[in-house]
Amino acid sequence: MSKSGSADREERLATEGRLKYRGTARIGLEVLHFTWNEPREPNEKSLKKLKRCFEKGQCDRLTRNHIPAVISQSQLDDTLRASNVPAERLLINTDPHPELKFPAGYQLRCLHGRHRVLAAQEVLPPQERWWTVDIYLEGRHNSYKRHDCCYAFADISL
């Protein structure tokens, strides 16, 4: 029995995601950038709900609610060197995840999680303004695209 076109596509996207995954790290909120949501305004109702969760300590940013982001291999290599973190350490999926330091003004392209970051910036104390990010390589022929409120790899150029 042959797979449907949709099932083939899902399998292809999942395989590409596994191939491009480089690991997980803690990254400062100021680095996280959300181009998919611009110029749409943030949803105030969602922000209020998330702020209440943060204030009550109910948001798990360590084991759940990771934000996926894309980066070039060269920028990842430079960041790992500057942070004194071996690439293999990103793949050890236990807390504490390593903290990556980016150059001033760097914007890491995130695929979703904008409301979480905006709420965290308002509620968390400065020393706690970070998020757990799953890092994926961008590619020349493969990228990430939003589909029905989900983000996945798609066959388009960045």
pLDDT over threshold 50, residue 154: no
DSSP result, the chain:
-PPPHHHHHHHHHHHHHHHHEEEEEEEEGGGEE-STTTTSPP-HHHHHHHHHHHHTT----SSS--EEEEE-HHHHHHHHHHHT--HHHHT--SSSPPEE---TT--EEESS-HHHHHHHHHHS-GGG-EEEEEEEE--SS-EEEEETTEEEEESS--
* pLDDT-above-90 percentage for the chain: 55
| Residue 115 or 40, more confident | 115
pTM: 0.80
pLDDT over threshold 70, residue 151: no
Q: How confident is the model at residue 12 (pLDDT cuts 50, 70, 90)?
A: confident
Contact in structure between 90 and 24 (CB atoms under 8 Å): yes
Q: From CA 138, how far away is CA 108, in angstroms rounded?
A: 11
Sign (positive/negative) of CA torsion 47, 49, 51, 53?
negative
Q: How confident is the model at residue 153 (pLDDT cuts 50, 70, 90)?
A: very low
Task: Give per-residue pLDDT as tens, 122-138.
Answer: 999 999 999 999 999 99
Q: From CA 16, how far away is CA 46, in angstroms rounded?
A: 31
Task: Give per-residue pLDDT as tens, 44-100.
Answer: 898 999 999 888 888 888 888 899 999 999 999 999 999 999 999 999 988 889 999
| Residue 114 or 154, more confident | 114
Q: How confident is the model at residue 36 (pLDDT cuts 50, 70, 90)?
A: low
Q: From CA 143, how far away is CA 151, in angstroms rounded?
A: 10
pLDDT over threshold 80, residue 3: no
Q: How confident is the model at residue 107 (pLDDT cuts 50, 70, 90)?
A: very high
Tell me the average pLDDT of the chain: 83
Per-residue model confidence (pLDDT) at position 38: 58
